């Protein structure tokens, strides 16, 4: 489903689009430590970094560019995006309250010589545009980290804006 097609169908909700994509939202992730999954301040909501956790709780691990391919890592970024949407649903009650995905920081657990971080992060960016349409188009950085918690392959944090 292309961005232009979605832009022409503003009456569809994010839930319609999730269903069309065959995505079932998992329960919101439980923080592994002394913090929360999101804090709202004014019209902005800051979301904690999420990772590629499957509904059964297992996580995808490894170094992208080493034992993890770009294609696999794209899928992990998409899965991370699903987990971020689960947080948004939990935080807002209704995904229709998402006015805009503002900014993503895409953190790739990569080898020192890896170059294709944008291709990995597109797994999340493509999903957000599929689900939120024009409201899902965001600013971002997609960069390589030396290590991530539990050696997960990707972690993504987000700033979103909500309707009044």
Q: Answer yes or no whether residue 157 interacts with its own copies by CB under 8 A.
A: yes
161 contacts 102 by C-beta, under 8 angstroms: yes
Burial class (CB in 10 A: 0-12, 13-18, 19+), 71: exposed
Q: Answer yes or no whether residue 126 interacts with its own copies by CB under 8 A.
A: yes
How far is residue 127's CA from residue 119's CA, in Å, rounded to a whole number? 13
Minimum separation from the CB atom of position 13 to its own copies (A)? 21
Q: Answer yes or no whether residue 118 interacts with its own copies by CB under 8 A.
A: yes
Number of other residues whose CB lies within 10 A of the CB of residue 11: 6
Minimum separation from the CB atom of position 136 to its own copies (A)? 10
Q: Answer yes or no whether residue 84 interacts with its own copies by CB under 8 A.
A: no
Q: Pick the stretch among 11-19, 20-28, 73-81, 94-102 that binds its own copies (CB under 8 A).
A: 94-102
Binding mask 11-30 for its own copies (x = CB under 8 A): --------------------
Q: Which one of 29, 46, 70, 72 is in contact with its own copies (CB under 8 A)?
A: 46
94 contacts 162 by C-beta, under 8 angstroms: no
Burial class (CB in 10 A: 0-12, 13-18, 19+), 80: buried
Q: Which one of 18, 23, 107, 131 is in contact with its own copies (CB under 8 A)?
A: 107
Beta-bridge partners for 100: 161
Angle between helices 70-92 and 117-132 (to 10 degrees): 40
Q: Answer yes or no whether residue 117 interacts with its own copies by CB under 8 A.
A: yes
* Contact residues for its own copies, defined by CB under 8 A: 32-39, 41-44, 46-49, 63, 65, 100-105, 107-108, 110-119, 121-122, 125-126, 129, 137-151, 155, 157, 159, 161
């Amino acid at each position: 489903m292309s961005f232009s097609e979605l832009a022409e169908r503003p009456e569809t909700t994010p839930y319609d689009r999730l269903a069309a994509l065959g995505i079932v939202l998992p329960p919101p992730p439980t923080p592994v430590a002394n913090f929360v999954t999101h804090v709202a301040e004014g019209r902005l909501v800051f979301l904690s970094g999420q990772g590629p956790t499957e509904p059964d709780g297992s996580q995808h691990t490894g170094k992208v560019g080493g034992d993890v391919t770009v294609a696999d890592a794209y899928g992990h970024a998409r899965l991370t995006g699903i987990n971020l949407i689960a947080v948004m649903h939990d935080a807002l009650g209704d995904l229709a309250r998402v006015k805009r995905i503002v900014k993503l920081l895409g953190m790739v657990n990569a080898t020192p010589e890896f170059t294709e971080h944008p291709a990995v992060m597109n797994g999340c960016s493509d999903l957000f545009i599929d689900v939120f349409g024009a409201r899902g188009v965001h600013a971002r950085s997609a960069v390589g980290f030396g290590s991530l918690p539990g050696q997960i392959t990707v972690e993504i944090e987000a700033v979103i804006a909500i309707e009044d």
